[in-house]
Amino acid sequence: MAQVRSPIAVFCSGEGTNLQAILDAIRAGRLRARVALVIADRPTAKALVRAARAGAAARCVIPADYPSRAAFERALIRECEAHGVRLICLAGFMRILSPLFVRRYRHRILNIHPALLPAFRGSRAIRDALRWGVTVTGVTVHLVDEEVDHGPILLQEAVPIAPSDTERTLLAKVHRVEHRLYPKAIDAMLAGRVRITGRRVLIADRR
Ligand code: GRF
């Protein structure tokens, strides 16, 4: 019997390399999901091209087209509902979702962050890590709550920083880890292998 693939949405603003990793993991059978919807908040997001290439439904929802953040978010919700989305995966989505949106999808929104949270929150995590001179940074996949880069943590992995690293080389190292970690976290969520108690998360092994 064909396995049911849970519909997910991926929200992106930029390159969409994590979206690509998700699509590739699905194709390779490492992630039992279906990208039912890709949302971009700007028409130039490369994620839209990647979605089209993969035959995934994609919508460009531009905040400036709406009178308020609430109206913009209502449009996002309408799209997610129309596509039967079970899990929302933020992948470089450069918008902060309001508490109203977050509460509606409580424990159903994941984010990937290019640092070991709670270190280097915010949109410049890679540059900030280099400026601090830390020798280890990393990747975090976490649930989204009402605060930015804050919700319960599913997976983290360290990335060593070499003295010669630049923003470009460190980003490449971080991406390599992200592209492996995100599909793994999404698969665990969809398979019901994630137990959340307060801030603590327990992930059961894949059978
Ligand atoms: C990733 O590094 C992710 O951690 C951060 O935004 C970046 C998105 O990259 N939240 P891409 O668009 O998936 O290439």
Minimal-distance CA residue to ligand 1 atom 5: 92
Question: How does pLDDT run across 46-77, given as a tens digit for each residue?
Answer: 999 999 999 999 999 999 999 999 999 999 99
Choosing from 126, 178, 181 the residue with most ligand 1 atoms within 8 A of its CB, the one to mutate for a pocket test is: 178
Q: Indicate whether residue 40 lines ligand 1 (CB < 6 A).
A: no
- Asked if residues 80 and 37 have their Cβ atoms less than 8 Å apart, the reply is yes
39, burial (CB in 10 Å: exposed 0-12, middle 13-18, buried 19+): buried
Strand order in the sheet with 58-60: 58-60, 33-40, 6-12, 87-90, 109-113, 136-143, 153-160
Catalytic residue among 113, 142, 175, 179: 113
Res. 127: pLDDT tops 80: yes
Q: How far is the CA of 113 from the centre of ligand 1 (A)?
A: 7
Q: Indicate whether residue 178 lines ligand 1 (CB < 6 A).
A: yes
The Cα–Cα gap between 71 and 76 comes to 9
Least confident of 2-16, 29-43, 96-110, 119-133: 2-16
Q: How far is the CA of 125 from the centre of ligand 1 (A)?
A: 11
Q: Indicate whether residue 114 lines ligand 1 (CB < 6 A).
A: yes
Question: How does pLDDT run across 77-99, given as a tens digit for each residue?
Answer: 999 999 999 999 999 999 999 99
What's this model's pTM, rounded to 2 decimal places? 0.97
pLDDT attached to residue 15: 96
The Cα–Cα gap between 205 and 141 comes to 17
Question: How does pLDDT run across 143-168, given as a tens digit for each residue?
Answer: 999 999 999 999 999 999 999 999 99
Q: Is 107 a catalytic residue?
A: no
